């Protein structure tokens, strides 16, 4: 396969970036999208040029590191997969492919296609946990969990925190991520104690980081590699309203937001 | 009280304000469309409806009491709806700002994966707001769109809204503007009705299809009802009183 790539190149967060065009030749249809970029980079290195920087790690769709806007769709044209699971057979010989980084204020560009997603970590720090006293492991099945709840919790827990939801959102909202991280705890008995405080803290931290707000468009769920449902957002909204009725305020010291 | 502060301070809280005021406004447009259907029953019934609105809730409520209560609630709702929309839009535009633009345009290429209606909410909202101002100046106050003496103001408890509507909609440009706005109102209702349940946390996998259906039903009923009025006048179905 021969392809033309329009790639966003940016030296660092301070310099403005631009699209550059590259020719990708000798591409096998069985290569993954990232392997195709590896081949292009090898070519660039041989020519003495700077290789294209992109995030990747496990290359099997579970780590959430890969993060490309491919032809205007987060993680490319196929549904329910990450960029590393996308194969070149999804494209045609001679295609022009546009590759861009995630774009959102709380995801500052580090280099080329690599963005800093540590704002997600700070949202987790603000409430995406349960507090338990450590000690010897409790017996299995001492706390019964209904199977439908366990399933819903697992569906939400499938979120790998890749940030495609933010990238695809016209508002740059992180609500699908926040909602998934709140829902996988709120469906389980262990998550009940801090449930409402968690909702307030995580939403507050999301706002502080500078993410946009949800207008229920659904772009996030449509591109989510783990197909997280918009239901989780309704659930988070419900928890926040209940928290407000209970008079719960955001915790005194939110994690420091770096963006802004 | 601290809970109210939480709503005010978070983006979700502002959306709750948006949803609750939206609920009130949806109630109004449905009622408004239903009431105006009386123009098909002739001038007497339609003019009596206008007069009857002043006696809404009688004998529990006095003359125009409930009407004024409704007007105040609606006005406050419109103001809060626009305020929260403005705050939320500013937050989103700041966040998505890249390469001198924001929203979807921040990418060199972006493909829409979902329905079109949700994307018209902000522009459509502005169109609807401008329409409300024009609509009040037109059919309520008779300041615009009428030749001298054509608009009949209420006099001594007598309302001649029927003749005002017929003369008002005989102008094709004004009717076209009304029809144009209804397209945006339709999109606004289709996304907004479902969206307010989602925002209030009343949506779930079980209810989502039901609520989408409700949104389609309300949007279609309001749009079809409303566009029928100028069309009926221009087609002569609703003509001047004999």
* A35-78 pLDDT per residue, tens: 999 999 999 999 999 999 999 999 999 999 999 999 999 999 99
Residue B107 lies in a domain: no
Pairwise CA distance, residues A245 & A248, whole Å: 8
8 Å CB contact between A169 and A217: yes
Question: Which two tokens mark A234?
Answer: 């309704």
Pairwise CA distance, residues B9 & A251, whole Å: 13
> Which domains, ranges and CATH numbers included, belong to chain A?
3-110 (3.10.20.30), 117-245 (1.10.1060.10)
Measured between CB atoms, does A178 come within 8 Å of chain B?
no
pLDDT, mean of residues A164-177: 96
Specify the pLDDT at position B107: 94
Kindly report whether the peptide bond that precedes residue B75 is cis, defined as omega within 30 degrees of 0.
no
pLDDT, mean of residues A120-133: 93
Specify the pLDDT at position A259: 45
Is the ipTM higher than 0.90? The answer is: yes
Interface test with B, best of A171, A176, A198, A229 (most B CBs within 10 A): A171
Name the more confident of A135 and A7.
A7
Checking if the pLDDT of A260 tops 50, the result is: no
Question: Which two tokens mark B157?
Answer: 């408890």
8 Å CB contact between A178 and A206: yes
- Of A254, A171, A244, A184, which Cα lies nearest the Cα of A213? A171
Question: Which range marks the domain in which residue B148 is found?
Answer: 13-94+113-234
Checking if the pLDDT of B88 tops 80, the result is: yes
* B205-232 pLDDT per residue, tens: 889 999 999 999 999 999 999 999 999 9
Q: How confident is the model at residue A252 (pLDDT cuts 50, 70, 90)?
A: low
pLDDT, mean of residues A196-225: 95
Cβ count near A193 (within 10 Å): 13
Checking if the pLDDT of A255 tops 90, the result is: no
Is the Cβ pair A207, B114 closer than 8 Å? no
Residue B4 lies in a domain: no
8 Å CB contact between A168 and A151: no
Cβ count near A103 (within 10 Å): 23
- Of B240, B30, B37, B52, which Cα lies nearest the Cα of B150? B240
Which of residues 31 through 50 in chain B touch A, CB cutoff 8 A? none
Residue B190 lies in a domain: yes
Pairwise CA distance, residues A190 & B212, whole Å: 34
Residue B3 lies in a domain: no
Q: In angstroms, what separates the C-alpha of B123 from chain A's closest C-alpha?
A: 14
Q: In angstroms, what separates the C-alpha of B188 from chain A's closest C-alpha?
A: 12
CATH of the domain at B156: 1.20.1300.10
Residue B8 lies in a domain: no
Specify the pLDDT at position A139: 87
Q: How confident is the model at residue A138 (pLDDT cuts 50, 70, 90)?
A: confident
* Residue keyed to tokens 């109630």: B27
Checking if the pLDDT of A253 tops 70, the result is: no
For chain B, how many structural domains are there in total? 1
Interface test with B, best of A240, A248, A250 (most B CBs within 10 A): A240
* B110-125 pLDDT per residue, tens: 999 998 999 999 999 9
Checking if the pLDDT of B4 tops 90, the result is: no
Q: In angstroms, what separates the C-alpha of A133 from chain B's closest C-alpha?
A: 29
- State which H helix or E strand residue B21 sits in: helix B11-36
Is the Cβ pair B11, A206 closer than 8 Å? yes
Of A8, A72, A231, the CB nearest to B110: A72
């Amino acid at each position: 396969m021969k392809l033309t790539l329009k790639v966003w190149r940016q030296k660092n967060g301070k310099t403005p970036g631009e699209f550059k065009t590259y020719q990708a030749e000798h591409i096998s249809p069985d290569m993954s999208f990232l392997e195709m970029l590896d081949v292009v980079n090898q070519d660039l290195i041989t020519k003495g040029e700077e290789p294209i920087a992109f995030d990747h790690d496990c290359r099997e769709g579970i780590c959430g590191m890969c993060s490309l806007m491919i032809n205007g769709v987060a993680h490319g044209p196929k549904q329910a997969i990450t960029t590393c699971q996308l194969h070149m057979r999804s494209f045609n010989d001679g295609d022009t492919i546009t590759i861009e980084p995630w774009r959102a204020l709380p995801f500052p560009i580090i280099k080329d296609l690599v963005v800093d997603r540590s704002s997600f970590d700070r949202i987790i720090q603000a409430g995406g946990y349960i507090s338990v006293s450590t000690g010897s492991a409790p017996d299995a099945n001492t706390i019964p969990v209904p199977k439908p709840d366990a399933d819903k919790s697992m569906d939400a827990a499938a979120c790998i925190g890749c940030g495609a939801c933010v990238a695809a959102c016209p508002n740059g909202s992180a609500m699908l991520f926040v909602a998934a991280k709140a829902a996988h705890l709120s469906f389980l008995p262990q998550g009940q104690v801090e449930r409402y405080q968690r909702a307030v803290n995580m939403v507050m931290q999301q706002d502080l980081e500078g993410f946009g707000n949800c207008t229920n468009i659904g772009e996030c769920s449509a591109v989510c590699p783990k197909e997280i449902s918009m239901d989780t957002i309704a659930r988070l909204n419900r928890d926040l309203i209940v928290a407000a009725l209970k008079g719960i305020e955001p915790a005194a010291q939110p994690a420091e937001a770096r963006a802004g | 009280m601290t809970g109210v502060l939480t709503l005010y301070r978070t983006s979700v809280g502002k959306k709750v304000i948006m949803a609750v005021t939206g609920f009130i406004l949806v109630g109004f447009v449905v009622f408004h469309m239903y009431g105006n259907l009386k123009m098909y029953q002739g001038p007497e019934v339609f003019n009596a409806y206008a007069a009857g609105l002043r006696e809404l809730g009688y004998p529990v409520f006095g003359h125009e009491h409930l009407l004024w209560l409704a007007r105040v609630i609606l006005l406050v709702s419109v103001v809060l709806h626009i305020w929260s929309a403005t705050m939320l839009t500013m937050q989103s535009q700041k966040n998505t700002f890249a390469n001198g633009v924001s929203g979807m345009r921040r990418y060199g290429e972006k493909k829409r994966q979902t329905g079109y209606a949700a994307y018209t909410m902000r522009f459509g909202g502005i169109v609807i707001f401008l329409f409300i101002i024009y609509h009040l100046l037109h059919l309520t106050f008779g300041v615009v769109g009428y030749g001298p003496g054509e608009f009949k103001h209420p006099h001594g408890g007598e309302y001649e809204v029927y003749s005002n509507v017929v003369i008002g909609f005989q102008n094709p440009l004004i009717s076209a503007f009304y029809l144009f706005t209804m397209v945006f109102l339709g999109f606004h209702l289709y996304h907004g009705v479902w969206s307010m349940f989602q925002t209030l946390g009343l949506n779930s996998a079980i209810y989502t299809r039901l609520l989408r259906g409700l949104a389609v039903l309300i949007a279609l009923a309001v749009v079809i009802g409303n566009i029928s009025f100028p069309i009926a006048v221009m087609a002569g179905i609703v003509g001047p009183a004999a």
